[in-house]
Structure 1
Amino acid sequence: MTWQLRRATLDDVAAIMAIETSVFETDAWSDEMMRADVASPHTYYVVAFHPETPDAIDGYAGFLAPAGSRDGDVQTIAVAEHARRRGLGRVLMGALLGEARRRRVSEVFLEVREDNPVAQGLYDSLGFVPIAVRPHYYQPDDVAAVVMKLTVPAPQPGLAVGHEITATEAPA
């Protein structure tokens, strides 16, 4: 499956909230909270869509890291039901971690519902480790949050792989 990502704008909030309220039925953010977060200069929100339907959002994710901060937080991430199990959550997390590197963040934190092993598995596969549990965090469901942390690896320099250009191939 192919998605394109772009930075979210306030024009995306209605589509984001449609996914938010369907995924997080009992503890969804309010429209006002989402608008404030998307508009904040301290956050980075990204939306995913199919190239043929740029107005149909299939997922979104948000990251908070004020300028100069060494720590960042995954604010939220959600994928519409019809787009699940196709790697979109991993793509969205990759975009957030790329932004963390651009902001020179060294540690990224998140909370995940204790009763969501699929999300926990994704975060674990990306290198996040559980560091704490917050009992009764998600209300009104009274579900604990597992706090996870990722030490952002430094970019590793590598060699480009290609072929040697001969005099006959060189551009004029």
Structure 2
Amino acid sequence: MTESDVPAVHALEQALFPTDAWPEQMFHEELRQGSTRHYFVAEDATGTIIAYAGLMAVAPIADIQTIAVVPGREGQGIGSQLLTMMIAEARERQMDDLMLEVRSDNPRAQELYERYGFEQIHVRPRYYRDGADALVMRLQLSAGKKSPW
């Protein structure tokens, strides 16, 4: 993701997460923190952004800040590709664990994360603005720890 991608990413963010959308400025601020952040976009053949994801890595833990795919492109492996890239980035940065929060009412995302070896370790009650709980999930990356990747 580059600064020029932010308006399109923010428009998607507002469409996909209307109650929890990040302000546009937050994406700019995240991109300015390159030493601890890494953001990705996926584009279709026309150059239109169809997915995005972001990682924060502050040793020894990395955190998936966001991951989103436009509804018309779900189920095509785009989210899996982005997740694979974030896992690789966390490994490259030598993180011990990769964490994320996922909505308790989003079984499709939960299944994706579980396929990649994430395990639920906690629940954050009423984490989202609409009152939905967040499931905290972890993928252990360190040598000697359980990980399929």
Structure 2 residue runs of 5 or longer lacking an equivalent are: 144-149
Whether 1:151 and 2:129 are equivalent positions in the alignment is no
Aligned to 1:20: 13
* TM-score for the superposition, normalised by structure 2: 0.91
After superposition, what is the alpha-carbon deviation per residue over 1:113-166, rounded to whole angstroms, capped at 9, x for unaligned? 011000000000110000000001001x10110000001265xxxxxxxxxxxx
Aligned length: 142
CA drift of 1:38 comes to 2.2
Aligned to 1:159: none
Q: Provide runs of 4+ in structure 1 moved above 6 Å.
A: none
Aligned to 1:49: 43
Instruction: Mark the structure with the bigger radius of gyration.
Output: 1
Q: Is the 8 A contact 1:64 1:72 kept in 2?
A: yes
Q: Is the 8 A contact 2:104 2:134 kept in 1?
A: yes
After superposition, what is the alpha-carbon deviation per residue over 1:64-94, rounded to whole angstroms, capped at 9, x for unaligned? 013xx11100000000122111111100001
Aligned to 1:112: 102
Superposed counterparts of 1:56-75, under 5 Å: 56-66=48-58, 69-75=59-65
SS at match of 1:77: strand
SS at match of 2:134: strand
Q: Is the 8 A contact 2:100 2:137 kept in 1?
A: yes
After superposition, what is the alpha-carbon deviation per residue over 1:23-48, rounded to whole angstroms, capped at 9, x for unaligned? 11111111111211122121000111
Q: Is the 8 A contact 2:95 2:142 kept in 1?
A: no
* TM-score for the superposition, normalised by structure 1: 0.79
* Alignment equivalent of 2:90, drawn from 100, 115, 121: 100
Percent identity reads: 42
* Alignment equivalent of 1:135, drawn from 125, 136, 149: 125
